[in-house]
Amino acid sequence: MSEINKTLFTAALVIIGNEVLSGRTQDANLKFLGTELNKIGIRMTETRIVPDTEAEIIDAINAMREKFDYVFTTGGIGPTHDDITSACVAKAFGLGHGRHPEAEAILLAYYKPEDVTPARMKMSETPHGAELLLNPVSKAPGFRVENVYVLPGVPHIMREIFSGFKHYLIGGEPVQSKSITAYIPEGRTGGPLSDLQDRFPDVEIGSYPFNRDNKYGAAIVMRHTDMERIEIVAEEVRKLVRDLGSVPHDD
């Protein structure tokens, strides 16, 4: 884990599931986590999407947990045979794996005795020593081992669990952003924006093209921890857009 007084905190997401790779399921968790982590000063810096295969899951978790302050995983912690994330996390850390007493108690209290199945109780298994991440929706918890946070793939459940522990995450200064839209093709803004980036290397300037109503344009997004600094560059962007004969729109 990082030092508290550093300023840049990074995160990676490992999305686990054949269904996301095959195109059957559209992932919605990266967008949520990228946005929410940024609000607390943690920058999503890499994401890997891997199949339900033990070696791939273990490799991704081990590569990411060394490289980033926080690692989140989504998917593969349900009750079915293709849910192998928990066992993989244990192997990634070289830990034993079995029923977590607190998770077991939560599930036994939640299900009627006739609904307690071996498949459901599999959801009480964690790497030894894991800390539970409580699930207010469907009870089966996520868990944390060191800097790895293991969450379900179903978006509304993942979000509720995340909301329960996000206040414990240590971040830096949140990155602020401002977006200015211009109906000018990037081929014309590209040169002046590059010059502007050279003049203000500390402000990250991104240009994201779009086509709306058959008109090409771009959202020009500035990012920095200091909104006053962003506003200086934003005023330059507005001028640049006007100089190209168009009208800048603050988004």
Residue placing its CB nearer to a second copy in the complex, 131 or 183: 183
The whole-angstrom separation of Cα 14 and Cα 60 is 7
Residue placing its CB nearer to a second copy in the complex, 123 or 234: 123
Residues contacting 7, CB < 8 A, separation 6+: 172, 173, 225
CB of 75 to a second copy, least distance (A): 10
The whole-angstrom separation of Cα 246 and Cα 223 is 23
The CA-CA-CA angle for residues 223, 229, 233, to 5°, reads 75
The whole-angstrom separation of Cα 62 and Cα 145 is 12
Structure tokens at 71: 């690692």
Residue placing its CB nearer to a second copy in the complex, 84 or 134: 84
CB of 73 to a second copy, least distance (A): 15
3-state DSSP assignment of residue 25: coil
Residue placing its CB nearer to a second copy in the complex, 94 or 201: 201
Residue placing its CB nearer to a second copy in the complex, 95 or 166: 166
Residues that bind a second copy (CB under 8 A): 18-28, 30-36, 38, 43-52, 56, 78-82, 111, 115, 117-120, 122-123, 138, 154, 156, 175, 177, 186-191, 193-194, 197, 204-211, 216, 218, 221, 223
Residue placing its CB nearer to a second copy in the complex, 50 or 89: 50
CB of 221 to a second copy, least distance (A): 7
CB of 52 to a second copy, least distance (A): 8
Neighbours of 79 (CB within 10 A): 13
CB of 63 to a second copy, least distance (A): 10
Strand-pair partners of 209? 218
The whole-angstrom separation of Cα 175 and Cα 226 is 8
Residues contacting 94, CB < 8 A, separation 6+: none
CB of 191 to a second copy, least distance (A): 5
Distances (CA, A) of 203 to 24, 221, 227, 230, 237: 38, 10, 10, 7, 12
